Amino acid sequence: MAIAGHRTEAESILNEMVHKREAGYYPAFGLAMVHVRSGHRKDAIEWLDRAIDERNTGYYSFYCDPIYDSLHSDPRYHQLIRKMKHAS
């Protein structure tokens, strides 16, 4: 989203998701997806870590989904892969 020039829209969606999570529950995995698409690599990795802990449906897809390619150069990404394999 943000990468395609829709940063304001992505930030709005992200804020809404965070608000919903604070008000009850919203999966960490969804927040990770918005962060990675917005170019917030550090935040994306932190939310992916939470998603693994929560075992959200689809949390494992970051391992093979190309939208996460921008995270591959980050050593923390590889730590998450190892954590995910141990959580299975």
Residue ranges of the domains in the chain?
Answer: 2-87
As a whole number of angstroms, the distance between CA 21 and CA 75 comes to: 28
Q: Which two tokens stand for residue 5?
A: 């020039």
pLDDT tens string 29-71: 888 888 888 888 999 999 999 988 988 767 667 778 888 899 9
C-beta of residue 12 within 8 angstroms of C-beta of residue 48: no
pLDDT value of position 42: 94
As a whole number of angstroms, the distance between CA 68 and CA 72 comes to: 7
pTM for the full model? 0.77
When pLDDT is cut at 50, 70 and 90, the band that residue 1 belongs to is very low
C-beta of residue 33 within 8 angstroms of C-beta of residue 46: no
